[in-house]
Structure 1
Amino acid sequence: MINSYRTLFKAVTLSLTLFLISATILHAQTFGDEPDFNEFREQLKNDYFSVGALLQTVGNFQPERTSGENGFSIGNARLQVYGEFDQGFGYQLQTNFTRSSPILDANVYYKFSPGFQIKTGLFKSPFSYEFLTGAAAIDFVNRSTVVNRLAPNREIGAQISGQTTDGILRYRLGAFNGNGFGANQNSDNNLLYVGRLEAQFHTDQQQSEDQITFGVNVSRETKEQTGFIGNHNGDQTLLGTDVRITQGDLFLGGEFIYSWLDSNIDYEQHNPFGYHATAGYFITPKTQLLARWDYFKNDDLLLTPNSETILAGLNIFPTQVSEIQLNYVIPTQRSIEYSQVLLNFQISI
């Protein structure tokens, strides 16, 4: 017990010391131009061919662990190329070398107009604001529990999307195999249908970042074999909603996802659900404090147990392409020995 508290205390103290030093330096420093990044952007980013990369090293420390070991890992090692040619034809190819199946995205699209675009191939199914946010830009080291457990993942299929002329309303509607991104063909004759409707309002015309984004998500699938939620077999319906409000240095966000799973095995309905409520504030232009309440109930169906946690976060942005994240995860239903410290160093270009 004493050794566990010492381990936790050392991890937290070291992480906070590093971050306080970094925050002090960043607060006192005035950032000017970044010539190396500007040159890279001029050479390797244009309309028809752009190169991007994401590198993340994650430290994971926990006095009492339910799985894994304390230490470091490569969270992401991504490389992507993307672009758009004449008359609205575009493409994206993205890999992650930390996976046994390295292809993340492989798709092409055609923009008929701002109101109608079609995309085919492998890409993120249109469900959940947090899931659709890129890995380099999420608020914490990991996405919320409910998004990780319930939201449909990358899928192979086709999608139509578009927006109104004023840009306020946006829609996405897709049909997919429903096998996840590790399979190349559908496992049965049924498809996964996913849709998202999003409204975005600017609250200050002078400040483009001051806005409210509200979204509604729905998905439906009947699986004769394993579906997108665990090992569930049967009808699977998800309904979700999310909101994000940004005003100056402050943002408030939240998401709720509820499921109706009609099992062909025990002929009962299961309803895993969850939500998160998140807040963040930039105490300096390069330093952000965050807090999150994260809740998930598995309804005795999924292998993952119920969870209820409080997260505290500190994000530091030394440059346009770099970020350091510190997360302290406190399980409300377990002792402090099961608290977790996550430390992420990343470069995203």
Structure 2
Amino acid sequence: MKINYLKYLFILALVFPAFVSKAQQNDDLLNVLVKKNVISEQEADSLRSDEAIKAQKKKDQDVANQHSITIGTRALQISGLLQTEYEGFEQSTKTNTFLLHRARLDVKGNISDDWSYEVYTEFAGVTPKLLDAYTTYKITDYLKVTAGQFKVPFSYESLVSDADLEFIDRTQVVNALSGRSTDVIGNQNGRDIGGELTGSFAKLNDHYLFDYYFAVVNGAGYDVTTDNNNHKDIAGRLAIHPIQNLTIAADFYHGIDLFTVAAGTAKANTYNLRNRQGIDGRYVWKKLSLTAEYDKGTDAHLNRNGWYGQAAYFVWSNKLQLAARYDTFDPTQTITTDRTTDYTGGVNYFFNKWAKFTVDYIDAREQTATQIKNNLFEAQLQLTF
């Protein structure tokens, strides 16, 4: 009996490396062992059966651990995002704190081959907020029609999912010019209510060469019951993919919105011009990702601009990722002493495809001679389900 156990251990040692590759290779190897009389046909069949059972168990486990739950034949998919963050401030006037950065529930699906929907809700904060609530009708790949509340098609970084950001926070220019935390219209999470046309065309090998987006929105932001003026804003974006994993895009936003400007002669809470233009690019090659974006905007009489460049690289498998970013923004081009530049270094550790731990350190520099001690340490634990 000991001889039989040793034989099986020897066989498994030979066969195991092949089991991590294609099934055909496994079968070929067993056939060779049978022909050389190392094992019998019955023993080979037993090994095939055992491996098939293990493979099915793994497949069942993967299905059970999917990122979403599918209910019924019309695909009700339920997923979510939890982010708990710690902020450590260099400024003594600010309080170091833990906070619930995001707590979101996403419900979406396809009720037919042509119709899809999404309802995305934020529960972090004082009151819940409805982020996305839209339906999309797909006519062809070249033309899809969306109506409801959705992300405005401006800025690459603004359109990236919060769960997929390579840093905890978005850049200064994106927060200021894409309807986010420091925009003149307030933090709208990059979203608005209206209609949108999207599509992809000019297929090249196995990918489309162009993606386009064109939206007409209220300009009043998200999670509101009515518009605050009769003007409607428009936004558009055209992305080109000359090769796989490379995207180069240009976009614009034109609106007349109700807001207050902090400097100059424009009246408070009046209808002011709010325009934006931008270009961006992203390239992913194996474990390396490179991203850059430039945006400029006009709010009433104020001209603003900024840009960022960042790189991220997996130094260990798909577990440990290092990232660095240069981020500069000028909130008032007529003032020569108010530009701020952030140098950010980050580390992402992926426990698996659902759990991620991120640490960022931001070295903030002001254009003025006297620097403010406002560097920031951030840590965040993220779980998606």
Counterpart of 1:330 in structure 2 is: 363
Q: Are residues 80 and 175 of structure 1, via their aligned partners in 2, closer, same or farther at CA, if it must alter by over 3 Å?
A: same
Alignment of 1:138-287 (within 5 A): 138-152=165-179, 153-166=190-203, 167-203=208-244, 211-223=245-257, 225-226=258-259, 233-261=271-299, 263=300, 269-285=301-317, 286-287=319-320
SS in structure 2 at match of 1:275: strand
Per the alignment, residue 376 of structure 2 pairs with 340
Matched, 1:45 2:70: yes
User: How far apart, in 2, do the equivalents of 1:185 and 1:214 lie?
Assistant: 35
Q: CA offset at residue 137 of structure 1? A: 0.3
Separation (CA, whole Å) in 2 of partners of 1:164 and 1:324: 38
Q: How does 1:85-104 map to 2 (within 5 A)?
A: 85-99=111-125, 100-104=127-131
- Write the letter of the residue equivalent to 1:136: A
In the alignment, what sits opposite 1:208?
Answer: none
1:5 is matched with: none
- Percent identical among aligned pairs is 25
Classify the secondary structure of the residue corresponding to 2:164: coil
Per-residue CA deviations over 1:276-302 (Å, capped at 9, x if unaligned) read 110111101211111101111110799
Residues 224-261 of structure 1, C-alpha deviation per residue, up to 9 Å, x if partnerless? Answer: x3289996742221100110111111121111101133
* Deviation of 1:63 (Å): 2.5
Q: Which protein has the larger Cα radius of gyration, Structure 1 or Structure 2?
A: 2
2: CA distance, partners of 1:343 / 1:126? 29
**TM-score, normalisation: structure 2:** 0.73
Letter of the 1:177 partner, please give it: N
Once the two structures are TM-superposed, the CA of residue 329 in structure 1 deviates from its matched residue by 0.2
**Aligned partner of 2:294: which letter?**
F
Q: 2-side partners of 1:340 and 1:111: how far apart? A: 44
The one-letter amino acid paired with 2:256 is: T
Segments of 5+ residues of structure 1 without an aligned counterpart are 1-31, 204-210, 264-268
**Aligned match for 2:134, one of 90, 107, 124:** 107
Query: Which amino acid in 1 is paired with 2:197?
Result: I
Aligned to 1:22: none
Question: In the TM superposition, what is the alpha-carbon distance from 1:332 to its structure 2 partner?
Answer: 2.3
Aligned in 2, Cα 1:301/1:158: closer, same or farther, shift over 3 Å?
farther
- Find the partner of 1:119 among 146, 151, 155: 146
CA deviation after TM superposition for structure 1 residue 337, in Å: 4.0
Equivalent position SS for 1:201: coil
Q: Tell me how many residue pairs correspond in the alignment.
A: 302
RMSD over equivalenced CA pairs, Å: 2.7
Tell me the CA shift for residue 65 of structure 1.
5.0
CA distance in 1, matches of 2:283, 2:360: 22
Please give the alpha-carbon distance, in whole angstroms, between the structure 2 residues aligned to 1:94 and 1:44: 15
Partner of 1:16: none
The residue identity in structure 2 corresponding to 1:81 is V
- Structure 1 ranges of 4+ moved more than 3 A: 32-38, 227-233, 334-337
Cα distance between partner residues in 1 of 2:371 and 2:306: 22
- Structure 2 spans left out of the alignment, 5+ residues: 1-54, 180-189, 263-267
1:122-141 equivalences under 5 Å are 122-141=149-168
1:313 to partner: Cα distance: 0.5
**Which amino acid in the other structure matches residue 375 of structure 2?**
S
CA distance in 2, matches of 1:45, 1:146: 38
Structure 1 residues 37 and 131: CA distance shift in structure 2, 3 A: farther
1:292 aligned counterpart, secondary structure = strand
Shift of 1:139: 1.1
User: For residues 40 and 200 of structure 1, do their structure 2 counterparts lie closer, same or farther at Cα, with a shift above 3 Å needed?
Assistant: same
- Give the conservation status (yes or no) of the 8 Å contact 1:156–1:184: no
Query: Residues 336 and 300 (structure 1 numbering): CA distance in 2 closer, same or farther, change over 3 Å?
Result: closer
Distance in 2 between the 1:43 and 1:237 partners? 38
Q: Is 1:288 the counterpart of 2:321 in the alignment? A: yes
Q: Indicate the residue corresponding to 1:20 in structure 2.
A: none
Check the 8 A contact 1:179/1:227 in 2, yes or no.
no
How far the C-alpha of 1:38 sits from its partner, in A, is 3.4
- Are the counterparts in 1 of residues 67 and 384 from structure 2 also a CA contact under 8 Å? no
- Deviation of 1:150 after TM superposition, in Å, equals 0.6
Higher relative contact order (CA 8 A, sep 6+): 1
Q: Return the alpha-carbon distance in structure 1 between the equivalents of residues 109 and 163 of structure 2.
A: 19
Question: Cα offset for 1:101?
Answer: 4.5
Give the Cα–Cα distance (whole angstroms) in 1 for the partners of residues 364 and 377 of structure 2. 12
Q: Is the Cα–Cα contact under 8 Å of residues 358 and 380 in structure 2 kept in the other structure? A: yes
Contact 2:78 2:108 in 1 (8 A): yes
Displacement of 1:85 after TM fit?
1.6
